[in-house]
Structure 1
Amino acid sequence: MTGTAKRPILVTGLPRSGTSWVGKMLQAGGEVVYVNEPLNPSRPPGRSPGVLNASVTHAFQYICEDNEEPWLRAFRDTARLRYHPLAELRANRALPDLARLVKNFSAFTAGRARGRRALLDDPYAVLSAAWFARRLGAVAIVLVRDPVTWSGSWRKLGWTTYFHELLEQPLLARDLLGEHAGELRALVGSQDELAKNAALWRFTYDAVDSMRKNTESLHVVRYEDLAGDPETRFGELYATCGLTWDASARRAVREATQAENAPTRAMSWSLKGGLSRTAYQPMDSKAALVTYRDRLGEEEIARVRELTADVRARYYDA
């Protein structure tokens, strides 16, 4: 294996940092098979042993050399686009599950036959990105989004943070939590969502900063750079991933990020069928950079910036 040819691609970062958007834009070139959130602890898209034949026990599952045995075997199969239909049938037999089985089995089988690479879009893999790069040979793309716009997106969706998912993982506490453990523990059960968001963002990207210093194939990409100049920045990202940036890929990115192609009416969301509230949709990528103004007040914006200032400076003030 030379360069990036045939290596799996991991696109990660905290949920709502743009992983689905970036994954779909990288898929547009036709050289990868898109694999949606195998480490998501919710079903769907997670808990699908056909896609990942291992048991996910926590959100933001931490994988390292000390607990890798079941993960290495399972993710090697996923990276090789080897689907496990019998394992899927044993776990999930409802009609929607059978439809997903057919879709995923077909995509994996066709992709393997055509020599395509696996692209894992998984924000729940962010704390394990270095392991993916080291042990699977993945090109790991970690997206970082400004904590203010990211917090605004979480508020819009009404999301909250459950820090016990992090604190209950001893190897994560040993390797990455460090000085953050006390802060996260103090916020368990808190109703102060902005403080919880800031703490999660600060811890995660402090950990990412540590990982990228020691992992050659881990690349941090700012959401704002991609959204501000999609054609140029995605061209660079294609090169980083070893994908072909041709006229077709360029056109797909342009059409998916221009204002005239953004939805002109509210979407009809459904969590039981159809689109999820977080599914990728064509958008005006530049306009998406300022949506936080409608979601957070000035004092809240200032507070998020203050709470995350030390880590944010490493990504946005350098």
Structure 2
Amino acid sequence: MVLYFSVFWLSCRPVLYIMLRDITPKPVRLFAAKHIFPKSPVIWANFRPIVQLCTNRLKPQEPPVVILSLPRSGSSWVGEILGGAGDALYLREPLTQTYLRSGGEKKLSFFEFDGPPWEYEKAADLSFRAIPQFSKGIVRFPEQWGLNCRTRKKTVIKEVNPFVLPWLMQKYQPRIIYLVRHPASTAHSFHKMGWDGRNQFERRFLDRSLAEINDYQRWAGSFWSAHAAVQSVVLKRVLEQAKGYESFKLVQYENLCKDPINEFRSLYDFAGLKWDEAAEDLVVKKTQPSQVDKHSFSTQRNSAVEAEKWRKLVSADKLELIKEAWLWYDPPLYRDEW
């Protein structure tokens, strides 16, 4: 009887949500989304007793893996290749998407904070316990999450706020794969998405950090300069914070594009994921597809073309602005590749 009622309730709740969505005040909708209506395409994740069992007894392999980068750096592509491993439990941006969908104060995907927002804390708690109480956009492969093989798998999380790094290292001790892409390519992608507003520094850094960043105001007149400078400062900060943290790996997007099989095999090994024929086939599918999806968030691409694609897209005058601002802060990468 309980089983029949549970199935009936799960099937009815989405219909009720659609009926009530347009006539209910926003605070009530948010409460309903949080406490009543199912979020997860993984059915068991909507039942508290099973969630408790998973938390206490059916724990995945340790340590978890975090793929971290700035937005528009190729981390969705990398995330789906690692997260598509046969022994992976993949979550795409659980912290960022939870924060943005709840109407987070900053309305940004990456920003500095004194203490993590409550949305980050809640999403991180679920993610690092491997509880997929998220929507389909975050739980990309629901079929991975069966209870029968959960203890033989490893959590793989993809995130796009580099400012979470010290908090994650201190609290969860994951293996960190930090992905960086040529600054011209990332800046062009931001511009293409319409994410090219003013005050790139002021919107993303705390006041005390701004006081320590030399000459950041000099880039205020150009998105291209300001964004390249932000990228440079963020990279240097990440590398400084990761010093002495053994489970940290810096990866350049262009290297993955040029030699995907060997580079991804190395990442699988670092992450503790099983490299087999299926994994190699996945890399081939994601890097040499017969048809390339040109959607802005596509994770299939011709990697041989992608590595240097920005050279045809960024004009010489913009490239000079990017180069000057990037090199101003003396980053260790992309010093000569212009």
Task: Give the TM-score taking structure 2 as reference length.
Answer: 0.68
Q: Give the whole-Å Cα distance in 2 for the aligned partners of 1:164 and 1:138.
A: 29
* Stretches of structure 1 lacking an aligned partner (at least 5 in a row): 49-54, 89-96, 270-276
Deviates more, 1:68-77 or 1:141-150: 68-77
Q: Give the whole-Å Cα distance in 2 for the aligned partners of 1:217 and 1:13.
A: 16
Q: Give the whole-Å Cα distance in 1 for the aligned partners of 2:269 and 2:139.
A: 29
Against the structure 1 CA distance between its residues 207 and 226, is the aligned structure 2 distance closer, same or farther, given a 3 Å change threshold? same
Q: Displacement of 1:20 after TM fit?
A: 0.2
Q: Which has the larger radius of gyration?
A: 2
1:1-318 map, 5 Å: 5-40=61-96, 46-47=100-101, 56-58=104-106, 59=108, 60-62=110-112, 71=120, 74-84=123-133, 100=136, 110=146, 114-115=150-151, 116-123=153-160, 125-161=161-197, 163=199, 170=206, 173-174=207-208, 177=210, 179-180=212-213, 183=216, 187=220, 190=221, 192-258=222-288, 261-263=290-292, 267=294, 277-280=296-299, 282-311=300-329, 313-317=331-335
Query: What secondary structure sits across from 2:101 in the alignment?
Result: coil
The aligned amino acid for 1:315 is L
CA deviations over 1:15-59 (Å, ceiling 9, x no partner): 11111000001022222222121232688xx436xxxxxx85433
Q: Displacement of 1:134 after TM fit?
A: 2.6
Against the structure 1 CA distance between its residues 196 and 255, is the aligned structure 2 distance closer, same or farther, given a 3 Å change threshold? same
Q: Displacement of 1:160 after TM fit?
A: 1.6
Q: Displacement of 1:136 after TM fit?
A: 0.7
CA deviations over 1:94-125 (Å, ceiling 9, x no partner): xxx7xx499689568536852332222111x3
Q: Give the whole-Å Cα distance in 2 for the aligned partners of 1:202 and 1:130.
A: 18
**Greater RCO between the two (CA within 8 Å, min separation 6)?**
1
The aligned amino acid for 2:172 is L
The aligned amino acid for 1:183 is Y
Q: Displacement of 1:150 after TM fit?
A: 1.8
Number of corresponding residues: 274
Q: Give the whole-Å Cα distance in 2 for the aligned partners of 1:214 and 1:290.
A: 32
Q: Give the whole-Å Cα distance in 2 for the aligned partners of 1:131 and 1:13.
A: 15
Structure 1 vs Structure 2 CA RMSD:
3.5
Against the structure 1 CA distance between its residues 117 and 177, is the aligned structure 2 distance closer, same or farther, given a 3 Å change threshold? farther
Q: Displacement of 1:139 after TM fit?
A: 1.0
Q: Displacement of 1:291 after TM fit?
A: 1.6
Q: Displacement of 1:63 after TM fit?
A: 5.9
Against the structure 1 CA distance between its residues 71 and 278, is the aligned structure 2 distance closer, same or farther, given a 3 Å change threshold? closer
CA deviations over 1:63-82 (Å, ceiling 9, x no partner): 67x65888556523221122
Q: Give the whole-Å Cα distance in 2 for the aligned partners of 1:69 and 1:184.
A: 31
Against the structure 1 CA distance between its residues 232 and 163, is the aligned structure 2 distance closer, same or farther, given a 3 Å change threshold? same
CA contact (8 A) 2:229 2:326 kept: yes
CA contact (8 A) 2:92 2:137 kept: no
Against the structure 1 CA distance between its residues 111 and 154, is the aligned structure 2 distance closer, same or farther, given a 3 Å change threshold? farther
Q: Give the whole-Å Cα distance in 1 for the aligned partners of 2:131 and 2:182.
A: 36
Against the structure 1 CA distance between its residues 106 and 254, is the aligned structure 2 distance closer, same or farther, given a 3 Å change threshold? closer
The aligned amino acid for 1:47 is R
Q: Give the whole-Å Cα distance in 2 for the aligned partners of 1:244 and 1:216.
A: 21
